[in-house]
Amino acid sequence: MDTNLNAVPDVVILRLPLYIRALNVLLNEQKDVVSSRQLGSFLQMEPAQIRKDLSYFGRFGKQGRGYNVEFLVNELGQILGLDRKWLTCLVGMGRLGQAIINYPGFAPEGFDIVAAFDSDTRQIGTDVGGIKVLPMLSIGPTIEKRKVAIAIVAVPAQQAQSVVDQLIHAGIKGILNYAPVALKVPTDIVMRNIDPVVSLQSLTFYLLRNQQR
């Protein structure tokens, strides 16, 4: 596939996992072929948008015949790198961190949490979800030894920047941040932020707007 990945808009990349999720549902229903219209109906999206998104990566279907479901889900999985295992670490073993490490949905999708860290001496040495919690000083050696590529940050806001700096210094290139704070990272670091409060605050705007109609 001859694709300039730098030319693909971020918003398109963010939609690819949604396509994969829908296609996997269709696979489980033993569907062999799906049209952009059917996929759009499933995802509540315009079929033209789906066709445009997929066109960034080549031609996956034939006009009038739709897409082969198994082929498309495999191709999109390769584009996102889901055809391999991604070793991941977790920093912060409070209630959120413990919920994350015990969530069963990461490993089946190729994300293996292989190390956990915390600064709280009461947490260090404990076993959570089958993983021994290590001290913060172990971040560098552990990431290097285990060849960890991704870090999940679930620490309080005031600690987040120093933790992220430490992870980057240790060689981490991808960060999923749950801390409710804007963090500064170099341009070669990929970071995604998850903040449920921000999502709820934007949700209430639409609720208020609908009430005023």
Structural domain boundaries in the chain = 5-79, 86-194
- Rounded to a whole number of angstroms, the distance between the first and last alpha carbons of the chain is 48
- In this chain, the answer to whether the domains covering 5-79 and 86-194 adopt an identical fold is no
CA atoms 136, 91, 181, 95: torsion sign: negative
Token pair 């870090």 is found at 151
Q: Say if residue 62's pLDDT is above 70.
A: no
pLDDT band of 150, cuts 50, 70, 90 = very high
Q: What is the chain's length? A: 213
Confidence of residue 59 (pLDDT cuts 50, 70, 90): confident
Q: Which residue has the higher pLDDT, 128 or 3?
A: 128
CATH class of the domain comprising 5-79: mainly alpha
Tell how strand 150-153 and strand 131-135 pair up.
Answer: unpaired
Contact in structure between 111 and 101 (CB atoms under 8 Å): no
213 vs 211: CA distance, rounded Å = 6
CB 135, CB 119: distance < 8 Å: yes
Mean pLDDT of the chain, nearest integer = 92
More confident residue, 54 or 211: 54
Question: For the domain 86-194, what is the CATH superfamily, name and number?
Answer: NAD(P)-binding Rossmann-like Domain (3.40.50.720)
Q: pTM above the 0.85 mark? A: yes
Which has more confidence, 210 or 191? 191
- pLDDT value, residue 6: 73
